[in-house]
Structure 1
Amino acid sequence: MTRHVIKRLPVDTGVSGWEAISERGFPVTALDGDITADWLIIGGGFAGLSAARRLSQHRPQDKIVILDARELAKGPAGRNSGFMIDVPHNLSSGEYSVADEGSAKTEIRHNRLAISFAAGVAAEFGLSGETFDPSGKVNAAASDRGLALNDNYRRSLEKIGEAHRVLDAGEMRRMTGSTYYRGGLFTPGAVMIQPADYIRGLARGLRGKVSIYEHSPVLELSREGRNWKARSNRGSVSAPKVILGVNGHIESFGHFRGRLMHIFTYASMTAAYSHNEFGGDVTGADRWALLPADPMGATVRKITSNGRSRIVIRTRFTYNPSLKVSERRVSGIAAEQRRSFDARFPGMESLPLEYSWAGALCLSRNHVPAFGEVEEGLFSACCENGLGTVKSTLAGMMAADLAAGVGSPELDQYRNQPEPSRLPPEPFAWLGVNSVIRFQELRAGREG
């Protein structure tokens, strides 16, 4: 009998602003008792919920169960910046890069497949335009280095025939209300989501087709005969096939150990404000979304609802194989984000950062997912490599197809990748990864 005892659970530090301003709309149900199912999905984030929807389409008569250790949208799925990006960038390298033309086009096609799936979710379940907004995004440059990176990125996009538009400093000022940025590069295919609303909207739409149990961490997963049995605090689920949509936490289930980098990034969201609270049009249009030209810089995004706006700023990365960070670290980085915000929007120093939080990412050295049938009837849809909304959606879709025996050229391409490369042993990995991250952050300079 195969038996995995899960000895640690990820820790979420700080309150995500996305989750705090989101309305849930359905009750929380925890697992209570022993049940059987045709399918068990562990993890209720982008991967797990996408796998559940895909399975409900393939096998509408089957019983599908999701277990999540937290409340939906309070974990990593509700803690990202909400960019669903089609044109690839490589966070592991610290540079935006498009690989050889064939690989780049394959990745773009896969990303757009995931975005199309999410668009179907938005249409089927009636998600609002504020929750799912196909507005595109801008790579924003605030320095000579940023302008040079954007120019390199532009040339790569031209090479593969991807639509884009260069923005000058005046256009950036009119968009953002800030004189901080010297240029930008707009690409139209990205979708901006309110991640907590998207996750809750998808879960709400699946109710009736899928049983979702929250506050139900899997503490043990064992193979008993033809079935897997997942034990939680107050019950268990038995099913012949299991999909793990737990990102880097899959190491806790005994797979891909020593191959995944557990990275945390940090964000803050301002209090809501109206435009007449500050002199002039200091933050520009009602909605905009900026990625930094140097990916180790600051992601900044503005949202507006009912005449009230908020700005979200995301900076800094740390490597934490313990799967947790301290409140002190979140508070310290929030102070740095305050300075970054004030540099971009002078005159708004009185606007408080209402929420600050940390969110977990999972990367591999060779930028590949932790995917496939890792044991008989046990499937992994993990390691999103820094693009959690899109990559985890895609992984969930592909894992459902693989487990259900539904073939496609996309699945053949997706599964035909090497496994994640091994990391150096600790403490060398910790020293090496954190040193590289800090060097790249310092090099980002004014982009941060």
Structure 2
Amino acid sequence: MTRHVIKRLPIDTGVSGWEAISERAYPVVALDYDVTADWLIIGGGFAGLSAARRLSQLRPQDKIVVLDARELAKGPAGRNSGFMIDVPHNLSSGEYSVADEQSTREEIRHNRLAIAFAADVAAEYGLSRETFDPSGKVNAAASDRGLGLNENYRKSLERIGEDYRVLDAEQMREMTGSHYYRGGLYTPGAVMIQPADYIRGLAQGLRSKVDIYEHSPVLELTREGNVWKARSNRGSVSAPKVILGVNGHIESFGHFRGRLMHIFTYASMTAAFSQNEFGGEVTGVDRWALLPADPMGATLRKITTNGLSRIVVRTRFTYDPSLRVSDRRVAGIAAEQRRSFDARFPGLKDLPLEYSWAGALCLSRNHVPAFGEIEEGLFSACCENGLGTVKSTLAGMMAADLAAGVNSRELDQYRNQPEPSKLPPEPIAWLGVNSVIRFQELRAGREG
């Protein structure tokens, strides 16, 4: 008998603006009885729901159950910036693209496989353009260093034949309404999503094929014979195969301990404003999406629905192996984001930041996922390395294929990676990682 007792459950700090403005069209159902299934998926984010959809395609007659500890879209899946990025996006380095050309091409192919999967979700389930928008994104530069980083990135894209467009300061101003930026690098393959709407829309589309239970944390996972049993507060699920789509919480299930970096990033969303009031010269066109030229800088997005707009600003990273941060820290960083926002949009100084929140990332030192069959019948689709929308979608797809015995070139390449490398012991890791993060944030300067 194998037994895992899960003593640490997810804790989310602050109210995600994405979730707050998202509308839900179906009721929350919690597990309150014992269930037998063919498949159990733990985690209802990008990895878990993608695995569920893939399994429903591969094994349409099988019974599939998804358990999530919280309400869908209130956890990390509904707290990210909503960029589905196809080109390299390595947050653990000072630049986005650091791999060799062959590895870069493979990464792009895998990213685009995940984006195509998400595009099929959007088409099949009728997701709106506000939820799934194939608009591309811009790497925005506000300093000499930022312009240099964009130029390095441009050269790396050119070497492998990727499309891009260089934007000057005036084009950036026309797009955003801000005089802050000195240039930009546009890449067309990224998709902008409203992450909470996407997760809820995917779950709604799956409800006829998959049983989804929320507010149903797994407290104990045991294996007897050929069957795994997950016990929750008021019920259980028994299944021969289990997929864990819990990102950094895979350590709470006893695997990859001491190998994953638990990083939090922070975001704020403005109150809604009218395009008639703050459009055009003040905030530019209806929608835009900016990544910082320096990975440690500020990410910004403007969204518009029915003539009302909001701007989201994401800055700061912290390493927190406890997997929790305080309300006080979120409030303090929100004050820093206010200053960053006002520097870019001085005409919006009286516009409140209505929502502020923290969101968890999971990174490995060697930039690889925590993936594979980790015990008999137990599969991991975790550690998204800072690009949760795409990497977790891909991990869920690949875990479903692996568990179902489906062979492909993509799966062979994906699974042929080393496991996450070990971290130094605490508190050395805490001191080292946070020191590196803070140095890189200070070096980002005006990009932050």
Do the structures match in fold with TM over 0.5? yes
Which residue is equivalent to 1:416?
416
Q: Normalising to structure 2: TM-score of the pair?
A: 0.99
Q: How is 1:258-297 mapped onto 2 (pairs within 5 angstroms)?
A: 258-278=258-278, 281-297=281-297
In the TM superposition, residue 224 of structure 1 has moved relative to its aligned partner by: 1.2
User: CA deviation digits over 1:230-283, x for unaligned, max 9?
Assistant: 000000000000000000000000000000000000000000001333486200
User: CA deviation digits over 1:209-245, x for unaligned, max 9?
Assistant: 0000000000000001110000000000000000000
The answer to whether the Cα contact below 8 Å between 1:271 and 1:351 also exists between their aligned partners in 2 is yes
1:439 aligns with 2:429: no
The answer to whether the Cα contact below 8 Å between 2:290 and 2:299 also exists between their aligned partners in 1 is yes
Which residue is equivalent to 1:51?
51
In the TM superposition, residue 166 of structure 1 has moved relative to its aligned partner by: 0.3
Give the unaligned 5+ runs of structure 2.
Answer: none
For the residues of structure 2 that align with 1:280 and 1:286, how far apart are their CA atoms? 8
**Is the partner of 2:273 in helix, strand or coil?**
coil
Which residue is equivalent to 2:390?
390
Letter in 1 for 2:69: A
Which residue is equivalent to 2:117?
117
For the residues of structure 1 that align with 2:45 and 2:346, how far apart are their CA atoms? 37
For the residues of structure 1 that align with 2:221 and 2:121, how far apart are their CA atoms? 30
Which residue is equivalent to 1:180?
180
In the TM superposition, residue 93 of structure 1 has moved relative to its aligned partner by: 1.3
The answer to whether the Cα contact below 8 Å between 1:275 and 1:281 also exists between their aligned partners in 2 is no
**Is the partner of 1:384 in helix, strand or coil?**
coil
**Is the partner of 1:347 in helix, strand or coil?**
helix
For the residues of structure 2 that align with 1:10 and 1:201, how far apart are their CA atoms? 22
Give the unaligned 5+ runs of structure 1.
Answer: none
Which residue is equivalent to 2:376?
376
Letter in 1 for 2:258: G
For the residues of structure 2 that align with 1:109 and 1:292, how far apart are their CA atoms? 23
For the residues of structure 2 that align with 1:36 and 1:224, how far apart are their CA atoms? 14
User: CA deviation digits over 1:17-67, x for unaligned, max 9?
Assistant: 000000010000000011100000000000000000000000000000000
Number of matched pairs: 448
In the TM superposition, residue 98 of structure 1 has moved relative to its aligned partner by: 4.0
Letter in 1 for 2:243: I
What's the % identity of the aligned pairs?
Answer: 88
User: CA deviation digits over 1:144-199, x for unaligned, max 9?
Assistant: 00000000000000111100000000000000000000000000000000000000
Stretch deviating more after TM superposition (358-367 or 2-11): 2-11
Which residue is equivalent to 1:148?
148
User: CA deviation digits over 1:377-411, x for unaligned, max 9?
Assistant: 00000000000000000000000000000010000
User: CA deviation digits over 1:350-389, x for unaligned, max 9?
Assistant: 1000000000000000000000000000000000000000
The answer to whether the Cα contact below 8 Å between 1:219 and 1:232 also exists between their aligned partners in 2 is yes
**Is the partner of 2:127 in helix, strand or coil?**
coil
Which residue is equivalent to 1:210?
210
Which residue is equivalent to 1:312?
312
For the residues of structure 2 that align with 1:441 and 1:184, how far apart are their CA atoms? 20
Stretch deviating more after TM superposition (110-119 or 272-281): 272-281
Which residue is equivalent to 1:240?
240
Stretch deviating more after TM superposition (276-285 or 397-406): 276-285
The 1:36–1:132 alpha-carbon spacing in structure 2 relative to 1, beyond 3 Å, is: same
Which residue is equivalent to 2:219?
219
**Is the partner of 1:175 in helix, strand or coil?**
helix
The answer to whether the Cα contact below 8 Å between 1:288 and 1:301 also exists between their aligned partners in 2 is yes
1:429 aligns with 2:393: no
Which residue is equivalent to 1:85?
85
For the residues of structure 1 that align with 2:32 and 2:94, how far apart are their CA atoms? 45
Q: Normalising to structure 1: TM-score of the pair?
A: 0.99
Q: Which 4+ runs in 1 deviate beyond 6 A?
A: none
For the residues of structure 2 that align with 1:68 and 1:223, how far apart are their CA atoms? 20
Which residue is equivalent to 2:71?
71
Letter in 2 for 1:211: D
For the residues of structure 1 that align with 2:96 and 2:249, how far apart are their CA atoms? 27
For the residues of structure 1 that align with 2:202 and 2:89, how far apart are their CA atoms? 26
The answer to whether the Cα contact below 8 Å between 1:262 and 1:323 also exists between their aligned partners in 2 is yes
Which residue is equivalent to 2:162?
162
User: CA deviation digits over 1:108-146, x for unaligned, max 9?
Assistant: 000000000000000000000110000000000000000
The answer to whether the Cα contact below 8 Å between 1:114 and 1:393 also exists between their aligned partners in 2 is yes
Which residue is equivalent to 2:27?
27
